[in-house]
Amino acid sequence: MRLDKFLKVSRLIKRRTVAKDVSDQGRVLLNGKEAKPSTVVKIGDVLDIQFGQRTLTVRIERLTESNRKEDVLGLYTILKEEARKREEDPFGL
């Protein structure tokens, strides 16, 4: 399954076009490497997704072509969720 479709089906990102844009911007890592929207994902892959000041790390547990809201829980496992601290301005501005 394509990365952008998985992000949409799993509801990690609401729309496929947004998932594509996020991937194109280099904000999604697949197993530690930058991933494009067309990259094929498989069970066991680890995704790092950067949402603004927050990074979410998940492991893919199951792949399906479509899902109802209630069935999303088994698609991935959250491994880590961390908020990035704002970088201090070295000039104090």
91, part of any domain: no
Predicted confidence at residue 88, as pLDDT, reads: 55
7, part of any domain: yes
57, part of any domain: yes
Predicted confidence at residue 80, as pLDDT, reads: 92
89, part of any domain: no
What is the domain-level CATH number for residue 52? 3.10.290.10
Q: Tally the domains of the chain.
A: 1
Residue-number span of the structural domain to which 73 is assigned: 3-83
pTM: 0.82
10, part of any domain: yes
Predicted confidence at residue 73, as pLDDT, reads: 76
Predicted confidence at residue 84, as pLDDT, reads: 75
92, part of any domain: no
Predicted confidence at residue 74, as pLDDT, reads: 84
**How confident is the chain (93 residues) per 10-residue block, as mean pLDDT?**
93 93 94 94 95 93 80 85 70 54
Show contacts of 6-11: CB within 8 Å, 24+ apart: 6/41, 6/60, 6/63, 7/49, 9/64, 9/65, 9/66, 9/67, 9/75, 10/67, 10/72, 10/75, 10/76, 11/67, 11/69, 11/72
